[in-house]
């Protein structure tokens, strides 16, 4: 696949000007551009620029509101409920994580529920913001149907990521940020666009047969991690981010690429809390915890036992030093959107 190299700043300016052309304010365009660039830099291409055309199409078709009026309801010093008025998800999530951090700094724990939002990209991106303020975070969002509940042949759960972030006493945060499906749906979309195969054992076609054809997988069902356990975790995320928040749930979140009949009304839940609620020496305790685990004897061929988030941190640092490489397909998307 042919790639084009672009300076990060040039790309950021291009994205900002595209979003502004589609009606976002300068600040909202900047928030969205930063989130998309971050996804490219950590190598989460399925949540990066491969989606920009989709966001702009949804704005054009009036199912993302480019000028949202956020309703921010204070429920207590710790708890906030946000109605995002169908904004682009990045902006709703940015407001929510910042509010959750403020609440936690004031009271020890912050909890922010969001409804009427859209796809916000990578949960870990928001967990990193909390870690930088020395807070632990737990973040949930639901997503359009992709995974069949255990025992069913119909997709209903999204790939519903589960995210947990924690300071580590070092520069490299612990960020467990994982979808509950064997493979991220974004990766399947990228494979389908580039005519690439997907791995065995991650999806079934619409007839329930295992497939490595990305297009057939998108029409069929994705498999959850660990059978009924993964299905249960997806269900938990649907309850926490959909049922609890006032967002859509039980398969009602619309697919952002294929369904323009209305807004997605995705729900998110952000929980952040201080590390010193129960012990005064969290930093030294977590350092010890990581040290013990990282020093365990390794399987042959494994150089290092990594904790979640280490791989993405390294990738981000390495990629930040270089130009961003985008495929010709994405370059074409940007050119069309700029016209």
Ligand X SMILES: NC(=O)c1ccc[n+]([C@@H]2O[C@H](COP(=O)([O-])OP(=O)(O)OC[C@H]3O[C@@H](n4cnc5c(N)ncnc54)[C@H](O)[C@@H]3O)[C@@H](O)[C@H]2O)c1
Contact present, 266 and 143 (Cβ < 8 Å): yes
Q: Does 226 bind ligand X (CB under 6 A)?
A: no
Q: Choose one: 11-19, 22-30, 97-105, 306-314; the region binding ligand X (CB under 6 A).
A: 306-314
Candidates 15-23, 48-56, 62-70, 172-180: pick the segment binding ligand X (CB under 6 A).
172-180
Q: How far is the CB of 163 from ligand X (least distance, A)?
A: 6
Residue 144 Cβ vs ligand X, minimum distance, rounded to whole Å: 8
Kindly state whether residue 240 participates in binding ligand X, applying the rule CB under 6 A: no
Determine if 155 is a binding residue for ligand X (CB under 6 A): no
Q: Using CB under 6 A, which of 311, 323, 335, 338 touches ligand X?
A: 311
Q: Which of residues 115-154 bind ligand X (CB under 6 A)?
A: 119-124, 141, 143
Handedness of CA 302, 308, 312, 314 (dihedral sign): negative
Q: Does 225 bind ligand X (CB under 6 A)?
A: no
Least separation in angstroms between residue 212's CB and ligand X is 17
Could you say which of 54, 72, 102, 176 contacts ligand X (CB under 6 A)?
Answer: 176
Applying CB under 6 A, which of residues 184, 211, 222, 327 lies at the interface with ligand X?
184
- Choice between 145 and 161, CB closer to ligand X: 161
Residues 91, 5 contacting (CB under 8 angstroms): no
| CB nearer ligand X, residue 78 or residue 218 | 218
Contacts of 190 (CB under 8 A, 6+ apart): 45, 46, 50, 196
Of 12-31, binders to ligand X (CB under 6 A) are none
Residue in 12, 15, 45, 47 binding ligand X, rule: CB under 6 A: 47
CB atoms within 10 A of CB 94: 23
Q: Which of 152, 148, 101, 153 is nearest to 126 (CA)?
A: 101
Q: Please pick, from the candidates 4, 75, 279, 306, the single residue that binds ligand X as defined by CB under 6 A.
A: 306
Tell me the number of residues near ligand X by CB under 6 A: 24
Is 248 a binding residue for ligand X by CB under 6 A? The answer is no
Written as six digits, the tokens of 116 are 């009427």
Is 54 a residue that touches ligand X (CB under 6 A)? no
- Residue 94 makes contact with ligand X by CB under 6 A: no
What span, in angstroms and rounded, lies between the C-alpha atoms of 203 and 302?
28
One of 168, 178, 211, 327 touching ligand X (CB under 6 A):
178
Tell me which of 161, 165, 167, 263 binds ligand X, using CB under 6 A: 161
Q: Which long-range contacts (CB under 8 A, 24 or more apart) does 223-228 make?
A: 223/147, 223/181, 223/182, 224/147, 224/148, 224/150, 224/157, 224/180, 224/181, 224/182, 225/178, 225/180, 225/181, 225/182, 227/150, 228/150, 228/151
Which CB, 75 or 306, lies closer to ligand X?
A: 306
Q: What is the largest CA-CA distance in the chain?
A: 57
Residue 319: both structure tokens together: 């990629």
Q: In terms of CB distance, is 29 or 93 closer to ligand X?
A: 93
* Residue 293 binds ligand X, judged by CB under 6 A: no
Give least dist CB 44 to ligand X, A: 5
CA–CA separation, 188 vs 149, rounded Å?
19
Q: Is residue 265 near ligand X by the rule CB under 6 A?
A: no
Nearer Cβ to ligand X, position 78 or 222? Answer: 222
Q: Which residues lie near ligand X (CB under 6 A)?
A: 44, 47, 119-124, 141, 143, 159, 161, 163, 175-179, 184, 306, 308-309, 311-312
């Amino acid at each position: 696949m042919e790639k084009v190299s672009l300076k990060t700043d040039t790309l950021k300016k291009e994205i900002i000007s595209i979003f502004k052309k589609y009606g976002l304010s300068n600040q909202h365009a900047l928030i969205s551009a930063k989130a998309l660039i971050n996804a490219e830099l950590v190598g989460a291409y399925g949540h990066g620029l491969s989606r920009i055309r989709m966001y702009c199409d949804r704005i054009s078709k009036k199912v993302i509101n480019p000028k949202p009026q956020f309703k921010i309801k204070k429920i207590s010093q710790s708890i906030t409920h946000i109605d995002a008025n169908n904004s682009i998800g990045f902006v709703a999530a940015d407001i929510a994580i910042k509010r959750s951090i403020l609440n936690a700094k004031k009271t020890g724990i912050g909890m922010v529920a969001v409804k009427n939002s859209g796809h916000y990209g990578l949960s870990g991106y928001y967990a990193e913001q909390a870690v930088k303020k020395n807070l632990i975070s737990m973040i949930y969002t639901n997503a359009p149907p992709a995974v069949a509940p255990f025992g069913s042949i119909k997709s209903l759960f999204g790939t519903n990521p589960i995210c947990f972030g924690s300071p580590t006493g070092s520069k490299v945060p612990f960020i467990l940020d994982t979808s509950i499906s064997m493979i991220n749906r974004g990766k399947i979309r990228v494979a389908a666009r580039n005519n690439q195969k997907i791995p065995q054992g991650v999806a079934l076609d619409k007839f329930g047969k295992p497939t490595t054809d990305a297009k057939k997988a998108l029409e069929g069902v994705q498999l959850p991690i660990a059978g009924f356990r993964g299905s249960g975790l997806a269900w938990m995320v649907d309850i926490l981010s959909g049922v609890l928040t006032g967002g859509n749930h039980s398969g009602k979140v619309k697919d952002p690429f294929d369904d323009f009949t209305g807004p997605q009304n995705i729900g998110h839940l952000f929980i952040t809390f201080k590390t010193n609620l129960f012990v005064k020496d969290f930093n030294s305790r977590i350092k010890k915890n990581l040290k013990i685990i990282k020093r365990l004897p390794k399987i042959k061929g494994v150089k290092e036992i990594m904790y979640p988030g280490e791989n993405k941190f390294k990738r981000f640092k390495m990629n930040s030093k270089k130009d961003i490489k985008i495929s010709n397909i994405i370059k074409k998307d940007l050119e069309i959107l700029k016209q």
